[in-house]
């Protein structure tokens, strides 16, 4: 009993297959937190969730595109499914890139040039880009409609001569 108490806690949990976080020079506390959360989640899933379910959610994440979803709906689905594919969003930067990859091309073009690294800021800017896109489409539509109205109006001569003057 005394011998068990002398062993460091790490040695106690290693016998159950626990891995050790081996940091390198580039690692920071955020990466360590990610690793720890990922390990806890992985162990929980191994014990309580079927592999088939996990594989399906993993596939859904990899195939996720915005399509007709609003930005808010897409963000919610992206965050929800990213929990099943943590290896594909291991850093904030990679998470941002993956999020942008699933957006419609017109918004991708507007957002990629910003090269944002914070997910919350990225989502905020994507929402603004979408609003700008809607405003531009609305303005274009109104311009086309006004041109159509001008083309469809019958031509009226500015000089009105009476029929009698031609006789």
Q: Is residue 9 domain-resident?
A: no
Q: How confident is the model at residue 56 (pLDDT cuts 50, 70, 90)?
A: very high
pLDDT over threshold 80, residue 78: yes
Of 147, 135, 71, the C-alpha closest to 104 is 71
Give the total number of structural domains in the chain. 1
Does residue 44 sit in helix, strand or coil?
Answer: helix
Decide which of 139 and 20 is more confident.
139
* Residue 77 structural domain: 33-148
Q: Is residue 60 domain-resident?
A: yes
Token pair in block for residue 95? 């998470």
Q: What is the mean pLDDT of residues 62-75?
A: 94
Q: Is residue 6 domain-resident?
A: no
Work out the mean pLDDT of the chain and round it to a whole number: 81
Decide which of 76 and 147 is more confident.
76
Region of 156 please: left (phi>0), alpha (psi -120 to 50) or beta. beta
Q: Is residue 162 domain-resident?
A: no
Q: Is residue 68 domain-resident?
A: yes
Q: Is residue 114 domain-resident?
A: yes
pTM confidence score: 0.60
Q: Is residue 109 domain-resident?
A: yes
Region of 144 please: left (phi>0), alpha (psi -120 to 50) or beta. alpha
Distance CA 135, CA 103 (A): 18
Q: Is residue 157 domain-resident?
A: no
């Amino acid at each position: 009993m005394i011998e068990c108490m002398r062993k460091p806690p790490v040695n106690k949990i290693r016998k159950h297959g626990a891995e050790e976080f081996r940091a390198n020079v580039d690692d920071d506390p955020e990466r360590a937190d990610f690793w720890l959360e990922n390990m806890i989640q992985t162990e929980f899933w191994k014990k309580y969730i079927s592999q088939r379910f996990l594989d399906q959610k993993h596939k859904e994440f990899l195939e996720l595109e915005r399509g007709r979803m609003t930005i808010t709906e897409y963000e919610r689905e992206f965050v929800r499914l990213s929990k099943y594919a943590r290896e594909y969003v291991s850093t904030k930067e990679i998470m941002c890139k993956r999020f942008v990859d699933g957006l419609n091309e017109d918004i991708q073009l507007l957002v990629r040039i910003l090269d944002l690294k914070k997910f919350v800021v990225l989502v905020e800017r994507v929402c603004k880009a979408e609003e700008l896109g809607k405003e531009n489409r609305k303005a274009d539509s109104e311009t086309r409609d006004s041109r159509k109205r001008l083309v469809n109006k019958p031509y009226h001569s500015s000089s009105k001569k009476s029929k009698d003057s031609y006789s």
